[in-house]
Amino acid sequence: MAQARIGLISRGCSCEGRNRQWLKRLAADEERDKIDNGLGRVCLRILIISDIHANVEGLQAVLEAAKGEYTQVVCCGDLVGYGPEPNEVADWVRKNAHVVVRGNHDKVAAGIDSANQFNDIAKQAAYWTIEQLSEENKKYLFDLPKGPLEVTSRYGILHGSPLDEDEYISTSWEATEVFAKLTRPVTFFGHTHMQGGFFRSGDGPVQAIPNPVGDMETRKIVDEKEGVLYYINPGSVGQPRDSDNRAAFVIYDTTGFIEYARVPYDIETTMAKMRKAALPDFLIKRLKVGR
């Protein structure tokens, strides 16, 4: 059981009425936020993860590295696709994440979108994923909400961009139109598998936060400043593409800082599982180079 192996907080909740439950949770967060605003900001420490892509070893390493540092898990989509253990990852997210938005691979796996939009390699992995997924997990993915999702008055989440959940935002120029649509001081996104993101102070230019954690580092803190909007990518847990093959995540402390983190994981084991599943060679090799 992946859950037992990963061994983390388990918040028992049924799949039924999942969307309703989310809305209730969001309303509760919003309420608590309002109450605490009179006394200063509410202190929540949230583990922000994205693009797990069915990689259990990457997820385990992140949970181990972040252990004791958070009370909630929030996921920006792409639970499945590419990697060898879609059910294990979907099971874990279903049981442990506080809020989740769907990613493009989740939509294809759930039958919302066709795999025809993918290149041949991604398509091959998508068909394999669809064959593996349990009906329960397919339904879970099908029911995942579309971003953007406003979680509290401080922050929101989405997969690609607020204009289009499937849009890649990789450059400051691309991010410029995004900032006009942000409704919270901090928004977390994924999709590009590149840790970092962008910020804008007042009406100033959009600036990038490229590769915040250097090769020889494991953490980098960015202080949240008033009057600045942040569009933050925690990076990918299961298939990093920013030339750093370590699993990526963010801890968001709502009292005012964003902490980027990287952690090595057992890539060889993930690669061996992918070989056994006869997943495309390109997808196996790219894990090692992190591209």
- The answer to whether residue 57 forms part of the interface with Zn ion (CB under 5 A) is no
Q: Which is nearer to Zn ion, 142 or 168 (CB)?
A: 168
Q: How far is the CB of 45 from Zn ion (least distance, A)?
A: 25
Q: Which is nearer to Zn ion, 109 or 182 (CB)?
A: 109
- The answer to whether residue 51 forms part of the interface with Zn ion (CB under 5 A) is yes
Tell me which residue of 282, 255, 204 sits closest to 45, measured CA to CA: 255
Site stretch for Zn ion (CB under 5 A), options 49-57, 118-126, 128-136, 265-273: 49-57
Q: How far is the CB of 51 from Zn ion (least distance, A)?
A: 4
Site for Zn ion in 76-135 (CB under 5 A): 78
- Angle made by CA atoms 23, 229, 234, in degrees to the nearest 5: 70
Q: How far is the CB of 201 from Zn ion (least distance, A)?
A: 29
CA distance 270 to 157: 28
Q: Are 123 and 278 in contact (CB under 8 A)?
A: no
End-to-end CA, the chain:
30
Q: Which is nearer to Zn ion, 26 or 59 (CB)?
A: 59
**Parallel, antiparallel or unpaired: strands 219-223 and 257-263:** antiparallel
Q: Which is nearer to Zn ion, 102 or 200 (CB)?
A: 102
Q: In what order do the strands lie in the sheet with 219-223?
A: 99-100, 72-75, 45-49, 247-253, 257-263, 219-223
Site stretch for Zn ion (CB under 5 A), options 51-59, 88-96, 158-166, 201-209: 51-59
Three-state DSSP class for residue 229? strand
48: its two tokens: 């922000």
By beta carbon distance, the residue nearest Zn ion is 78
Q: Which is nearer to Zn ion, 200 or 262 (CB)?
A: 262
Q: How far is the CB of 286 from Zn ion (least distance, A)?
A: 12
Q: Which residue ranges make up the site for Zn ion (CB under 5 A)?
A: 51, 78
